[in-house]
């Protein structure tokens, strides 16, 4: 798998302990796999095959079942997310107002496609289906910040400002 070679797993023992608690909490509840995956993704930021294996073992189900669910839902990511998570809304309201052009500009700026992460893990990019801020279309989100009524020429400046912040914040790139 390409993703696996590109992004090595860097899980810690503390993370593993938290995951074990989560598994114990949901093990006997009906339909517990989804909440476990959701919380595991919060712990690790994504769901690499290593984490999926631990979940399969913990819940006593097959890895293929875990993988099947993890790959079915778009919220679950098998590749890591960047320090800054960018998402461009491609819901209908945003699309008719030119969101595809915003996405193209971000892809060009970062040199990655939607669903990918920059090699330095500074930025990851996703396209989402409607965050519900249709009044501000087209909309782009960086982490929890919402940028509404976007134009293509704003893209560079916004991304640069986050790159700047990450650098001055220390470990950054």
Partner 1 sequence: MMSIDELNRIKAEKEELVLVRRLISEEGEKLCGKTGYRKQVLVCGGTGCTSSGSKKVLEALDEALREQGIDKEIYVVKTGCFGLCALGPVMIVYPEGCFYSQVSPEGVRRIVEEHLKGGNIVKELLYAETVHEDGSIISLSETRFYKKQMRLALRNCGVINPEDIEEYIASDGYQALAKVLTSMSRDEVIDEVLRSGLRGRGGGGFPTGRKWSFAKAAEGDIKYVCCNADEGDPGAFMDRSILEGDPHCVIEAMAIAGYSIGAEKGYVYVRAEYPIAVQRLDIAVKQAREYGLLGDNIFGTDFSFDIEIRLGAGAFVCGEETALMTSIEGHRGEPRPRPPFPAVKGLFGKPTVLNNVETYANIPQIILKGSEWFSGIGTAGSKGTKVFALGGKITNVGLVEVPMGTTLREIVEEIGGGIPGGKKFKAAQTGGPSGGCIPACHIDTPIDYDSLIALGSMMGSGGLIILDEDTCMVDISKFYLEFTVDESCGKCTPCRIGTRRLLQFLEKITSGRGEPEDIDKIEELALHMKASSLCALGQSAPNPVLSTLKYFRDEYMAHIIDKKCPSGVCRDLLYYEIIPKLCKGCTRCAKNCPANAISGEVKKPHVIDKNACIKCGLCVKNCKFNAIVTR
* Binding stretches for partner 1 (CB under 8 A): 30-35, 37-38, 65, 68-69, 72-76, 90-93, 95-98, 101, 104-105, 108-109, 128-137, 139, 146, 148, 151-153, 155-156
Judged by beta carbon, residue 9 or residue 73, the one nearer partner 1 is 73
Rounded to a whole number of angstroms, the minimum distance from the CB of residue 13 to partner 1 is: 27
Judged by beta carbon, residue 132 or residue 169, the one nearer partner 1 is 132
Q: How many CA atoms lie within 13 A of 171 on its CB side?
A: 4
34: nearest Cα among 60, 90, 72, 3: 72
Judged by beta carbon, residue 19 or residue 89, the one nearer partner 1 is 89
Structure tokens, 52: 């999926």
Judged by beta carbon, residue 30 or residue 169, the one nearer partner 1 is 30
Rounded to a whole number of angstroms, the minimum distance from the CB of residue 134 to partner 1 is: 4
Judged by beta carbon, residue 106 or residue 117, the one nearer partner 1 is 106
Integer Cα distance of 11 and 51 in angstroms? 9
Integer Cα distance of 26 and 31 in angstroms? 9
Rounded to a whole number of angstroms, the minimum distance from the CB of residue 129 to partner 1 is: 5
Rounded to a whole number of angstroms, the minimum distance from the CB of residue 44 to partner 1 is: 15
CA distance readout (Å), 51 to 19, 112, 130, 142: 9, 25, 29, 26
Structure tokens, 37: 């995956």
């Amino acid at each position: 798998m390409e993703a696996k070679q590109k992004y090595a797993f860097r899980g810690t023992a503390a993370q593993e302990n938290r995951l074990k608690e989560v598994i114990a909490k949901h093990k006997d509840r009906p339909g517990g796999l989804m909440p476990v995956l959701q919380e595991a993704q919060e712990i690790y930021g994504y769901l690499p095959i290593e984490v999926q294996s631990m979940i399969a073992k913990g819940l006593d189900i097959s890895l293929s079942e875990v993988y099947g669910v993890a790959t079915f839902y778009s919220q679950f990511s098998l590749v890591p997310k960047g320090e800054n998570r960018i998402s461009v809304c491609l819901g209908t309201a945003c699309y008719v107002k030119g969101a595809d052009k915003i996405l193209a500009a971000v892809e060009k700026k970062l040199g990655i496609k939607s669903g990918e992460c920059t090699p330095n893990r500074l930025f990851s990019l996703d396209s989402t289906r409607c965050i519900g801020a249709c009044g501000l279309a087209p909309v782009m989100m960086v982490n929890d910040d919402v940028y509404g009524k976007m134009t293509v020429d704003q893209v560079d400046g916004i991304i640069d400002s986050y790159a700047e912040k990450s650098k001055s914040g220390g470990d950054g790139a």
